[in-house]
Structure 1
Amino acid sequence: MSDELLTAARDVRENAHAPYSGFRVGAAIRTASGIHIGCNVENAAFPEGVCAEGGAISAMVAAGETEILEVLVYAEADTPVAPCGGCRQKLAEFAGPDIVIHLAGTSGITTSMTVAELLPGAFGAHQMDRD
């Protein structure tokens, strides 16, 4: 299953718009209906760009999906590139704590962790319940 995500994230990374950092990232999210992809899109008014994970989540929601089953983030770097803090929170919004996030690069998947490992103590809607 992760091979499809790896291919999708690696391929969409090529479409990233990263003229300032030169650091291109691709993300692929699996849902019940299929795979949704996103790449980072920088803009001159840094940091107003979009991360790959955020782009993939937007594509997922636009397709009518709201439940993440698996995620893969692809970047060509010497070490695994984990989602930024904002993207960790975005992922936690749509994925349960046991959902696996894979980090990959030219060597393939190098690290896999759960949402709970990626964002321990995540803030969620349940904390806003007003009884």
Structure 2
Amino acid sequence: MSWNPLYEQSYVPYSSNKHACVVESKSGKCYAGVRIENISYPLTIPAAQAACAICLSEGEIPAKIYTEDPSSEQLDYWGKEFELEVIETNNPSQDKLEDLFHPSKKDFEVLPRLKTLLDNAVTPNSDFPVSAILFTEDGYFEGVNVEVSAWTHGICAERVAISKAFAAGRTEFTRLEVHTRKGEISSPCGACRQVISELLPYHDIVLHHSDGTQSEHLSLDLLPFSFKSSALKK
């Protein structure tokens, strides 16, 4: 298997710089990440960040990272953070990635599942776990927030779920549901709202609050006057 199928899952409308990588956990499971750009450039999710965060969100510890470009964005940080073995290859293993391309389809009650997912959150700094489930036309992807030593390289639950979906080639989203057990309301942060406004612009966002109530919103309404400049180079 070449990198091309994974590269094609990248969302790179501004740079056309497609990139992907694969993280292998200490238990031998593999997780793919692809580059997901945002019109607000600093919110772009590098492939290495996506793959490592997805691995951590599944309760696994990254051990190796496979890439075609060892100088790719954030790879140095993640390699040092987890003492990863960086393996340069032009032939990622198909069999280890097979399960990644199929979204979950099991029937379940959303709120109980969101509550269970909170236990997977990696929050050594904030102790503020968040869970999210992103529904697509043929299944769903789960996410929790992941914090690491460099606060700026942590990533929210909503974006972990989005990263999983893109790595699996699923971009036809239907709705996003979010839950936190702490705080007055469950609400995507400003950064997530910017990402959501671009990737899920007219979608239902269901927020399950810590007091047992819930509210539903149109994603477009979560961030009035979001950055949509047509002046950017494309």
> 1:13 aligns to what?
118
In the alignment, what sits opposite 2:168? Answer: 63
Please give the secondary structure, in 1, of the residue aligned with 2:132: strand
| 2:219 aligns with one of 115, 118, 125 | 115
Comparing 107-116 with 36-45, greater Cα deviation is found at: 107-116
CA contact (8 A) 1:5 1:35 kept: no
1:49 aligns with 2:154: yes
Q: What does the per-residue CA deviation read over 1:27-73, in whole Å, with 9 as the maximum and x for residues that have no partner? A: 10111121111100001211320100010000111111113210111
Distance 1:4 1:35, change over 3 A: farther
Q: Which runs of 5+ in 1 are unaligned?
A: none
Equivalent of 1:103, from 197, 207, 210?
207
Deviation at 1:109, TM superposition (A): 4.6
User: Structure 1 pair 68/5, CA: closer, same or farther in 2 (3 Å)?
Assistant: farther
Q: Find out whether 1:36 has 2:141 as its counterpart.
A: yes
Percent of aligned pairs with the same residue? 34
Whose RCO is larger (CA < 8 A, sep 6+)? 1
Does the CA-based 8 Å contact 2:185-2:210 persist in structure 1?
A: no
In 2 relative to 1, CA 117–79 (structure 1 residues): closer, same or farther, beyond 3 Å?
same
Is the contact made by 1:76 and 1:105 (CA closer than 8 Å) also made in structure 2? yes
1:14 is paired with a residue whose SS is: helix
Q: CA RMSD in A?
A: 2.2
CA deviation vs aligned residue, 1:75-118 (integer Å, no higher than 9, x gap): 01242121111111111222133x11111134445221111210
The 1:52/1:108 distance shift into structure 2, 3 A limit, reads same
| Number of residue pairs the alignment of both structures matches | 126
Letter of the 1:122 counterpart:
S
- The alpha-carbon distance between structure 1 residues 129 and 48, as it changes in their structure 2 partners (threshold 3 A), is closer
Return 5+ residue gaps in structure 2 as ranges. Answer: 1-107
Is the counterpart of residue 74 in structure 1 residue 179 in structure 2? Answer: yes
Using the size of structure 1 for normalisation, the TM-score is 0.83
Letter in 2 for 1:32: E
